[in-house]
A and B are shown apart, each in its own frame.
Chain A
Amino acid sequence: MDFIIEKSVLIVSVFGITLVMAMYSTWLERKFAAFLQDRLGPNRAGIFGLLQPFADAGKMFFKEEFIPNHSEKFLFIAGPGIAMFTACMTSAVIPWGPDFEAFGRTISLQISDINIGILYIMGFLSLGVYGIMIGGWASNNKYSLFSAIRASSQMISYELAMGIIIITIVMMTGSLSLRNIVQEQSGALYNITALKGLNWNIFYQPLAFIIFMTCALAECNRAPFDLAECETELIGGYHTEYSSMKLGFYLFAEYINMFISSTVIATIFFGGYNFPGMQLIENSALLTVMCVAVLFLKIIFFIMLFMWIRWTLPRFRYDQLMHLGWKSLIPLAIINMLITGAVILAT
Chain B
Amino acid sequence: MNQIAPLIIQAGLVLGFVVVTLFGTFFLSKIFGTSRHSKVKDENFECGIENQGDARFPVSVKYFLVAILFVLFDVEVIFFYPYAVNFKEMGVEGFLALLMFVSLFLTGFYYVIKKGALDWSNK
Using CB atoms and an 8 Å cutoff, list the residues of chain A in contact with chain B: 3-4, 7-8, 10-12, 15, 61-65, 68-71, 77, 80-81, 84-85, 88-89, 92, 111-114, 119, 137, 139-146, 149-150, 152-153, 156-157, 159-160, 163-164, 167-168, 170-171, 174-176, 235, 240-241, 244-246, 249, 318-319, 322-323, 326-327, 330-331, 334, 337-338, 341-342, 344-345
CB-based nearest A residue for B24: A245
New A-B contacts (9) at CB < 8 Å, excluding given A139-B55, A171-B87, A322-B120: A11-B10, A15-B10, A15-B14, A77-B26, A84-B14, A113-B3, A159-B70, A330-B73, A341-B95
Whether B104 sits at the interface, judged by CB under 8 Å, is no
Using CB atoms and an 8 Å cutoff, list the residues of chain B in contact with chain A: 2-7, 9-11, 13-15, 17-19, 21-23, 25-26, 28-30, 33-35, 42-46, 54-56, 59, 63, 66-67, 70, 73-74, 77-78, 80-81, 84-88, 91-92, 95, 98-99, 102, 105-106, 109, 113, 118-121
Q: Specify which of A7, A160, A318, A345 is in contact with B70 (CB 8 Å cutoff).
A: A160
Compute the total of residue contacts between A and B using a CB distance below 8 Å: 188
What's the minimum C-beta distance from A338 to chain B, rounded to whole angstroms? Answer: 7
B86 contacts across to A, CB distance below 8 A: 174
Q: Chain A: interface secondary structure?
A: helix
B33 contacts across to A, CB distance below 8 A: 62-65
Q: Given A85-B14, A146-B59, A235-B45, A7 and B80 touching (CB < 8 A)?
A: no
What's the minimum C-beta distance from B39 to chain A, rounded to whole angstroms? Answer: 8
